[in-house]
Amino acid sequence: MAGEPKHSNQLEQFMLLAKTTKGPALIALIKQLLEAPGVYLFGEFLGLPCIQEMSKGPNEGYSQLLNMFAYGTYHDYKAFKDTLPPLTETQKNKLRHLTIVNLAANMQVIPYSVLLKDLEVGSVRELEDLVIEAVYADVIRGKLDQCRQQLEVDACIGRDIRSQDMGRIASILAQWCSDCESISASVEQEVGRVSHCRESHLKALQHIETEVGNIRRMMSATTSMSTQDMDPLGEQEGEGAMAGSGAERRQTPLQMISKAKSLNNQRH
């Protein structure tokens, strides 16, 4: 995902400072965190004991504000802004960036109309500037299509996950694993079928080649016999005669024609 290692390293610096900070200094640190460029993950910071303790005291609004940046959107903030500390313009824009991430995680192509509504900006120019800031901040990757009035998303960072959502995510991953196993089994079955078809094809090809060889040998033998039958000298005397039978040997067509001519001459 876009830029996550860099964001995580920057968050660690604030976590180290928070462990030794209390009271107004901790509130100031939270404000700096929400404005810090490159920091878009807040779940680990929320898990610090000092932040957990803050959620039960008079400054719980800052704990809720951290929750909003970790899991919420700009629209969510607007709905509860009366109970939350005010945001600077930098903080508002960061929350808008996170709102774009939310949309990008669910939509590969985001129409300008959706972005204008969810980010609550007054013009297309302001919207495009905000998206360009998010791209340079490395929280999303994509491009603006001004002709079609849409944002085409290639990738985005992952946001923090609530503990109560872990079961649902585990279920989705388990289903994904099951689907992968089914696909793998189908592929193996198809490979087996193709291998069987290939073997059958090779056997059929070998059989055809054998038959062709047999036919060629038969044709060669037939041609040889035909050549012998057409020998003008005929068979040698004495071959094929039956002992003591007085039968004449078999004559060739040429010999029979010659004998017929001789008899005809004698008559004349």
pLDDT tens digit string along 32-80? 999 999 899 998 999 999 999 988 888 899 999 999 999 999 999 999 9
Residue 231: what pLDDT? 55
Q: How far from the centroid of its chain's Cα atoms is residue 135's Cα? A: 25
Of 110, 261, 237, 105, nearest in space to 169 by CA: 105
> Residue 230 corresponds to which amino acid?
M
CA distance 237 to 248: 10
Distance CA 202, CA 76 (A): 67
The pTM is what? 0.65
Tokens representing 202 are: 């090779």
DSSP 163: G
Ranges 87-91, 150-154, 241-245, 262-266: which has the least confidence: 241-245
Question: From CA 103, how far away is CA 110, in angstroms rounded?
Answer: 7
Residue 26 confidence class, pLDDT cut points 50, 70, 90? very high
What single-letter amino acid sits at 219? Answer: M
What's the rounded Cα separation, in Å, for the pair 142 and 199?
49
Mean pLDDT of 69-92: 93
**Confidence class for position 260, pLDDT limits 50, 70, 90:** low
Whole-angstrom CA distances from 245 to 241, 251, 256 are 8, 17, 21
Q: Mapping DSSP to helix (H, G, I), strand (E, B) and coil, where does residue 159 land?
A: coil
pLDDT for residue 57: 83
Mean pLDDT of the chain: 83
